[in-house]
Amino acid sequence: MTKQKPEAAVAQTEAFNQAVLDWFSGSGRKDLPWQQNPTPYRVWISEIMLQQTQVQTVIPYYLRFVAQYPDVATLADAGVDQVLHLWTGLGYYARARNLHRTAKQVVQNHGGEFPHDVEALETLPGIGRSTAGAIAALSMHIKAPILDGNVKRVLTRYFAIAGYPESSAVKKQLWTVAESLLPEQKIAAYTQAMMDLGATLCTRSSPACYQCPLTSDCQALAGDTIAEFPGKKPKKALPVKAVSMLILRNEAGHVLLEKRPDSGIWGGLYSLPEQAANDTDASPEPGWVAYAESGLQINPLTLEPLPTIRHSFTHYNLDITPLLSQGWKLEADDATVADSDRWLWYPLDHSVEVGLAAPVKKLLTRLKPD
Ligand code: SF4
């Protein structure tokens, strides 16, 4: 049994449809090339081209394409290289390959006619639920919802639907809403109107609400929260790596810096000698000597931990614990620092001009020059 909508919901849906259709009859786009003789084939080509691409860019490509391949049979007969050649410049070439595969399947499996059924359309290569809905509604007048980027923007704002629209829960909610709003009549005009509203009025950064037919009930407009919809993609928590950096100061107060290898992070810049953070977690016996990764010999009991700082890279955060040692002297048998191309005693008045790794610069500016 079909679920009955409560009367208030029916009235709201009808008011929404009427507002959208009235606006479309006065202000919607009606002269786009694929709106003339909107056969399933012509609508399908336009919908695929319009994925990821602006209308103005698509128009000349579309006109050339349908002039060369006026129907699904001519496209199915073409070589894939010819199709790709016509697509050159539009980008996302998988779309062209899928177009060609779909044309062949329509000819071979459906007698050259696109199926009059959204689920069957969705089984064809490159046709998702929204594209199937658009082909069905615009060319076959089937009552089917669409949910392209423009429609998602309008619906998330109008109903103040929070969350990232590509997440499965929000997407499911949006499909339910889109379906519940479909009018009984004029499905093609309504579908085009919803696309046009999003493309021309309810734009991403500066929606023209003063011209919009939905102003009276738009929740984002009423709450002054338009910029919050559609919700942004949640940021992934970045993994955290930890390292200790040795701030070894000599009797003059200068800090020992090490030049990093040319490749890798901070390539060719000067940085503090590092050691794996865990090396200092142990409770060393007096006289225990740590060997930092840089080959220096250090007594960990002389190291004073300073507050940890975080440096963010694109793919991870690096927690740096500075370990300070004042009045540090070379061990008699430590010849490492004699290699002056690699090591530098850096004066904290910054009078030596060298490239410093960003967090090192930050750490050094916090130290008092002696
Ligand atoms: S009133 Fe503004 S935010 Fe709301 S649907 Fe219309 S253009 Fe979009």
- pLDDT, averaged in runs of 10, over the chain (370 residues): 64 91 94 96 97 93 97 96 90 92 97 97 97 98 96 97 96 96 96 96 96 96 96 89 90 89 85 69 46 70 88 90 82 57 85 86 83
Give the domain 31-144 fold: Endonuclease III; domain 1 (1.10.340)
240-365 domain in CATH 3.40.50.300? no
Distance, in Å, from the CA atom of 350 to the CA atom of 360, rounded to the nearest integer, reads 12
pLDDT given at position 332: 45
- In degrees, rounded to 5, the angle at the alpha carbon of residue 37 between the alpha carbons of residues 31 and 40 is 115
CA of 214 to the centre of ligand 1 (A): 6
pLDDT given at position 159: 96
Within its chain, how far is the Cα of 358 from the centroid?
A: 27
pLDDT given at position 340: 67
Are the C-beta atoms of residues 134 and 47 closer than 8 Å to each other?
Answer: yes
Which ligand 1 atom minimizes the distance to the CA of 197? 7
Alpha-helical segments (H) within the chain: 7-27, 40-50, 55-68, 72-77, 80-87, 94-110, 118-122, 129-140, 149-158, 168-180, 187-196, 219-222, 358-365
Are the C-beta atoms of residues 303 and 346 closer than 8 Å to each other?
Answer: no
Which ligand 1 atom minimizes the distance to the CA of 229? 3
Distance, in Å, from the CA atom of 145 to the CA atom of 136, rounded to the nearest integer, reads 9
List the domain boundaries for the chain: 31-144, 240-365
pLDDT given at position 283: 40
Task: Name the strand (E) or helix (H) holding 323.
Answer: strand 317-325
Q: How many CB atoms lie within 10 A of CB 226?
A: 19
Q: Do domains 31-144 and 240-365 have the same CATH topology?
A: no
Distance, in Å, from the CA atom of 274 to the CA atom of 292, rounded to the nearest integer, reads 6
Q: Is the CB of 216 under 6 A from ligand 1?
A: no
Which ligand 1 atom minimizes the distance to the CA of 208? 7
**CB neighbour list of residue 46: distance below 8 Å, 6 or more residues apart:** 32, 33, 34, 58, 62
Question: Which positions are annotated as active-site residues?
Answer: 47
pLDDT given at position 293: 67
Q: How many CB atoms lie within 10 A of CB 218?
A: 20
pLDDT given at position 36: 95
Distance, in Å, from the CA atom of 30 to the CA atom of 24, rounded to the nearest integer, reads 9
Q: Is the CB of 194 under 6 A from ligand 1?
A: no
Question: What pTM does this model have?
Answer: 0.69
**CB neighbour list of residue 224: distance below 8 Å, 6 or more residues apart:** none
pLDDT given at position 369: 72
CA of 187 to the centre of ligand 1 (A): 21
CA of 165 to the centre of ligand 1 (A): 17
pLDDT given at position 319: 92
